[in-house]
Structure 1
């Protein structure tokens, strides 16, 4: 029996006990007895459908049922009620001891590319014999201008994940003990919106433990005191029981923004687990890339979803310049990985630029002469690109934060390290530092010159907790413990 159902039945049994105390004071005791019998019938049904039926508990329930059912009008005395209560208390003891509990854990991802923020939690639950894990990818809308385009990505998840279709899962019936989500924005996101049924205010109706594990990794740049993270200021945060954070700096910011400290658990990110596991397994890059990149220095260019949302033509020119690396750096290749929501953001914020973007994408896909050394990566999984890369060219963003674990070279798109960074300035190279322009830096890379190599050692542990691949396991362990503590108090 799942934990929440056992808790509900336990509460119902206590309610029956309370009703027995009240019955002698009723003008018509049989109305109260009828309610008790209906409650016992409901309990009997749930016990009877258990895979391993709790025989002793059912026998005790039958005794209580018979004593209530056969009580006569003149037998409604305090002594008779007390006798029934003695049997009722024996029933409660047997129920608590005999009925084995399993924890019903539900994962509600929406975009397949964000599954890595939940994956190692799911794998931990799968290994726990006292838990049942269900993954239900939920439908969402891609928002572009005035359009809301229905989307569902359940068919894009890894083959080793057992998927349940959202039409086949009834929240009202299942009442999961724990729900893990990586999106709590409800109707407060400009680019995507999950179906209303899965807004946090609705999910909270069916669970005692709604857990938010962000699909992003928080920045290594400390938030200013007046800065408010969207994730911790959206109304959905009020409906969440626990929020997972990557370090105490983010926690402090969230507390300043009004998030109760008891909601917060600083346990890292499963996204970092994904990189650690890939490094340990020596995960290879995509087969179709091998002929293009074998024996070459690989430059991975990461552009976030808002890269073209402001100053689009300036950033477009910068991107094209980076695409020229193979022209002047021998044995090099560029992989460009634009954020999956890039076009959505362009349509929302700089719609006049959309044709330029589409033309660029098509030119690269068609292997146009201008971009022969450029590979476009639009795959769901970003990890093969990170594993293939020798150098990441990027602004601040989740991909860069994940890349810290690899300890490889970073060419930061900026003049210098932003103020408030937890990393030392000499951790990165800088694309627009006047002292040494980026095209000179990449030429040095081709000659094996990398003076900052030692500075990058353990850089992820300077920023985040549990960077050894244990985050998902620790998250579930702590959430399970919190849930069982609450349950033990019933």
Structure 2
């Protein structure tokens, strides 16, 4: 084990050093790489005339490289110029007596290489993704986050080796110290935010993963706020002798996220749940029979965990990360028609209505979708058994408790702006300031919480004043727990933008108020559930709702709760078990058929 950890540490150190040299300092790195591959007298062509080439030509020192043309198959681009260089068709390249061709594409680099080889095997091909295929082009917007992720992972591996009583190779230790110094890292702060692995929590995959008679199921766990999507499913598999079920901790890459915090790792460590950290996982070695995904978005995880990579190697199962309620073409594509949606082995829908949305919006017409209910509703069904944060419960002091759940999509884009946070933030504080018999728990979307913490004045005007006001009020609290069940369990009612909570909270039988954004996108087919909720269009609507709940009334309860089964499916706490049984039935059928 010590040797394996040191080998992984060395691998990530090498990856970091390369990324930093070549990508993090793009201009110097790219020029240095090209000059090392291209002879001084070479006649050079760049293959590709799109965004990638525009970005590349802005960085290249053209005076040092004899670039004669850009090549593109598009007839519409023929004869045009990009950064002063003429665009030609592939058949014209011979007229320039080219020696070297630079592939300027990430997504189509393999196809371009094949095209070049068809023209001639004599061309020298330069592709600066050859050494490391990092999963994104050099101008990728999450470039810095990816580079820092590798650096932080180096520190985490180093800390893990030490915590487990192993020795770090001297050369590796020297390089780790250099990385810490280069980035001004506080190693104790990283340890505090990300925790350290111990032998009891490292899933002992080397002992039991070769039991051939058992079905091997790995769960890719990326973010703790979505633990309720996997919890009862993982437990059902884990408690069944026919399976080997393991949690694989995978980083979550997203804008505004604190790159120094690996939330999924910290959550599993704090919860004493055994797992395998992403840096130890190699699917080619592990060979799982099935992999469960928590999110459909490949750009938000390291490339080796992308659904496009995993699809070629094993079966993919997907449990939607939320109870989707947002509408609009962009959202329909993101929620129902990405690569993972169309190529997953199985997808689990919460209801017949939900399956119909897959049939309507996914290219494969929802052929891989089965109705089981959603595991998040298992969590609500068992809410009475949940151990609530004692400090939160003490803070409430017997008052009527309201959750306010604002979305993160602040902005003017009508295609994605569901948030009403800036509309209501001061008004809602006014309302609760005057009602000390009530308590407000602000439970923002995790990305909005990041903006609040970073005090992004551009997206949240007067954010410092807002936070300062909360600190002076005795009946308002921002819930930062990974698990929203603390808030659900102690609350009496909900106020929410368009979000998963509008459906999840329905299973609590408690009052719900919807905060519509008249300038935002529509809701999906399940969005008509809000016709059975209270709605806020002006201040008095919220005031009347708060007063009604404070006085113990809920005039829409009967009509609202009569819709639970239609929108959420069966609510019996057994969704995890149903998903396991569906997986087993299909897996056994396929293997018998073979």
Same fold (TM over 0.5): yes
- Of 322, 346, 354, the match for 1:216: 322
- Of 235, 254, 264, the match for 1:153: 264
1:205 aligns with 2:317: no
2:588 match: secondary structure? helix
- Of 311, 314, 325, the match for 2:431: 325
- Of 357, 367, 371, the match for 2:463: 357
1:129 match: secondary structure? coil
- Partner residue, 1:178: 290
CA distance in 1, matches of 2:560, 2:387: 23
- Superposed displacement of residue 105, structure 1: 0.7
1:262 aligns with 2:367: yes
Aligned CA distance change for structure 1 residues 177 and 362 (closer, same or farther; 3 Å): farther
- Partner residue, 1:428: 533
Which shows bigger deviation, 195-204 or 285-294? 285-294
- Partner residue, 2:244: 132
Aligned CA distance change for structure 1 residues 324 and 397 (closer, same or farther; 3 Å): same
- Partner residue, 2:63: none
Aligned CA distance change for structure 1 residues 229 and 351 (closer, same or farther; 3 Å): farther
Q: Map 1:74-473 to 2 at 5 A.
A: 101-144=213-256, 151=262, 153-157=264-268, 159-187=271-299, 193-207=300-314, 209-219=315-325, 228-257=332-361, 258-279=363-384, 281=385, 283-307=386-410, 315-342=421-448, 352-354=458-460, 356-357=462-463, 360-361=466-467, 364=470, 367-368=471-472, 371-414=473-516, 427-432=532-537, 437-473=541-577
Kept in 2, the 8 Å contact 1:232–1:259? The answer is no
Output one character per residue of 1:303-357: Cα deviation in whole Å (capped at 9) or x when no partner. Answer: 1221566689974241221123333335111100111111567999x87225733
CA distance in 1, matches of 2:559, 2:376: 23
CA distance in 1, matches of 2:208, 2:573: 36
CA distance in 2, matches of 1:52, 1:318: 52
Greater relative contact order: 1 or 2 (C-alpha under 8 angstroms, separation 6 or more)?
A: 1
- Superposed displacement of residue 267, structure 1: 1.4
Aligned CA distance change for structure 1 residues 362 and 180 (closer, same or farther; 3 Å): farther
Aligned CA distance change for structure 1 residues 216 and 424 (closer, same or farther; 3 Å): closer
CA distance in 2, matches of 1:136, 1:226: 30
- Superposed displacement of residue 401, structure 1: 1.3
TM-score, normalization by structure 2: 0.57
Superposition RMSD in Å: 3.5
TM-score, normalization by structure 1: 0.69
1:105 match: secondary structure? strand
Alignment: residue pair count: 380
- Superposed displacement of residue 362, structure 1: 5.7
Aligned CA distance change for structure 1 residues 325 and 286 (closer, same or farther; 3 Å): farther
Kept in 2, the 8 Å contact 1:303–1:394? The answer is yes
CA distance in 2, matches of 1:267, 1:206: 26
CA distance in 1, matches of 2:537, 2:440: 19
- Partner residue, 2:15: none
1:108 match: secondary structure? strand
